Amino acid sequence: MSRRKVTSTDIAKAAGVSQSTVSMVLNKKYNVSFSRETVEKVEAAAKELGYVPQRRKASKSARTEKLLVVFCPNLTNPYYVMLLQGIESRAKEQGYVLFVCDTQRDLGMEERYLKMMWQIRPLGIVYMCNPSHCFMKLVEELSRSIPVAVINNQNERLDVDAVELDNSKLGRLMARHLLELGHRRAAYIAPPLTTRQKQRSKRVEGFLKEYEKAGLKGNVIIKAAKEELDSDAAHIDSEYMIGYELTKELLSEEKNITAIAGLNDMIAFGILDALHDAKFRVPGDISVMGCDNTLFSRLHKVGLTTIEHFVIYKGRDACDIIMKKIAAHMVKNPDIEPISTYHVEYEPRLIVRGTTSYARQRKKKN
């Protein structure tokens, strides 16, 4: 005859406590505090009676939902919304659901989300930008048990799968276009150029290198926002305001600028509005260009000249990499464990619209 199963009621009688106390102690409900003596009494009684904890049945949703986690630095820039759109469209096609971690470029938030991954155990993780330097090792450690794909700056080497972007190439393309139009004196407006956001610096470096090749490096003015802006939570208009405010500063300091480049399209829109308010004609007086070819660059009254680097495709590719890794793990081969690292890169393309033209000619002095 089989032995009767020990219940929490049996343990409660043996320990001299209520059944609810037993339940909370055995289920480790840390939001309720008990004395050490009570906890020890309950645990000792459970051990003595041979209590075997019941296995919790996984809920239907937990068994069937195929979960991917996406790390995003913010959702106020259309660039990241486009990336997310690409990831989501591919995930939906394959029956996956997404959990989006918006870190807001906050190290504490990023760390908390990363530590949660061991409990959540998603089938895959997509990083929509480079992980912060202090968490690179943690991300690589995670990738050994959970497929991770990073949409990253090519110059940051990680031992994980990546959809890469050569940001210096984007900067060079921007500069080359302006130089071909005769813009010998230009400005570049950017968010904070911090060590944590190297991809921004790479775009600026690429721009400067092209002007340096033309012997005009000293003719480029770099205007970057203050570093503390990166520690604030991003607002929907924060990058637009960087473009607007720094352009106003620039116009009060410089009179001979014929072109202004924004690190991204949102900054370029701020540049355009600041020039409009100051009664400058675009592109008649000053040419303007952005980068990322976001939806708004096509909707603006005067189409924005920008750089296309296939953002939505990158999101889809990152998702595809995760799917391939998941499929590889499902094929059980006792002899060989396949190891592969994927790297995908798109060639950026200049999109010329209505905000750039030939540099205005300086009036000769009599």
CB contact at 8 A, 129 and 152: yes
Q: Which CATH class is domain 168-309?
A: alpha beta
Domain ranges of the chain: 8-49, 65-165+311-345, 168-309
Position 246 scores a pLDDT of: 97
Burial class (CB in 10 A: 0-12, 13-18, 19+), 157: exposed
DSSP assignment letter at 154? T
Position 99 scores a pLDDT of: 94
Half-sphere exposure of 51 (CA within 13 A, CB side): 20
Confidence tier at 50 by pLDDT (50, 70, 90): confident
Q: Quick one: which of 93, 102, 101, 103 has its CA closest to 66? A: 93
Contacts with 315 (C-beta within 8 Å, 6 or more apart), sequence order: 82, 83, 84, 85, 86, 87, 88, 89, 90, 126, 128, 151
Whether the domain at 65-165+311-345 and the domain at 168-309 fall into the same CATH topology: yes
Instruction: Decide if pLDDT at 351 tops 50.
Output: yes
Fold of 65-165+311-345: Rossmann fold (3.40.50)
Instruction: Decide if pLDDT at 196 tops 80.
Output: no
Mean predicted lDDT score pLDDT of the chain:
85
Confidence tier at 365 by pLDDT (50, 70, 90): very low
Spatial distance between the Cα atoms of 243 and 250, rounded to a whole number of angstroms: 10
Query: Phi and psi dihedrals of 303, rounded to 5?
Result: -55, 135
Query: Phi and psi dihedrals of 52, rounded to 5?
Result: -115, 115
Burial class (CB in 10 A: 0-12, 13-18, 19+), 212: middle
Predicted confidence (pLDDT) per residue in 202-239, tens digit: 999 999 999 999 999 899 999 999 876 665 555 667 89
Q: Quick one: which of 156, 93, 96, 149 has its CA closest to 125? A: 149
Q: Quick one: which of 258, 274, 260, 280 has its CA closest to 363? A: 258
